[in-house]
Structure 1
Amino acid sequence: MKMQAQSPCFDLAQSVKRLSQVGVSDLRVAADIGVHSHEIGRRQTLVISVIADIVTPREDALAETIDYNRIVEYAQDLARERICLIETYAARLADLCLQSDLVVRVEVSVQKPAALLNGLASTRIVRWA
């Protein structure tokens, strides 16, 4: 009897059944960010939220997940760089989170509370591994 090879879709479906989420929300960092002359060289508060979809840990061990402290470090390190757009900041943060082999999808939201007099400027990016 000839055995059929499993399709990639089948393997993906099995993996999706074992996803968990790790999140960091309302993280505040001071960043030199913005394109307008009054923003350059002046630190502004960013409010960051990250949700990382990971393969569900099989063991009760930190090595089985992405450490949320690592996500905080990534966000703080990026805040030390001069970046013009919150969209760029969010994309770079997502890419850093995806460096972990356990992360299959990441969603990053960045708010810039002081950007508007009446409203809240923000961006949201979703990336897959």
Structure 2
Amino acid sequence: MRRVIFSGTSEGKTLCRQLSQAGLSAEVCVATEYGKEVMPELNGITVHTGRMTAPEMTEFLRGAQVVIDATHPYAVEVSKNIRAACAQVSCRYIRLLRPKTQAEGAVHVPSAEAAARYLSQTEGA
């Protein structure tokens, strides 16, 4: 089975470790050289480095049975491209997201504008 992981988070690295320990192979795609540097060398895991256009992504995914999107939660455009490429080549798409956590003592606001309003009425560092 051809597995492809788009990684950009610690969850992506953890998944690669787990697959390797289970004796399974996968191709992991990272956008940058730094992403390649922080990905440990693992048996069965092949690292591809570099950003892909939507057409390049579609071509790369031909023949894949499953694609796991473990990119950063704010990488909305790349997730959209991965999902579309999977649909074009008829492979399964799985989105891996970390659980949401609440930071103790944090102030939560609904938007950047609300954050700016809140901060304009506060003092200190």
TM over 0.5: no
Q: Say which structure is richer in helix.
A: 2
> TM-score per shorter chain, which class?
under 0.3
Q: Say which structure is richer in strand.
A: 1
Q: TM-score, normalised on structure 2? A: 0.27
